[in-house]
Amino acid sequence: DVKASNVLLDGDLDGKLGDFGRAKLYDHGTNPKSTHVVGSLGYMASELPRTSKSKMSSDVYSYGSLLLEVACGRRLIEPGRPSEEMILVEL
């Protein structure tokens, strides 16, 4: 998951991506689909639950969600908010 809680800062305040506890290696040459998709609401690209196939564009989407969170000061989707405030951006 590329999300704010998984970005760790070192002594020079350089960001490092952490929390690979749920990551698994798959031989994408033989089967591009994983058995199930694990991710966080608002950071996971919308095609992942449907295709179960992670691509570079999926990571770019997650990174963009992180940048939007940093710029706006709130998450893209916040389930605890009232319905009219739950989604930061309407598509």
| Residues with active-site annotation | 1
Question: What does the buried/exposed string (b/e) look like for 45-81 if buried means 16 or more CB atoms within 10 Å of the residue's CB?
Answer: beebeeeeebeeebeebbeebbeebeeeeebbeeeee
Q: What does the DSSP 8-state code read for residue 17?
A: E
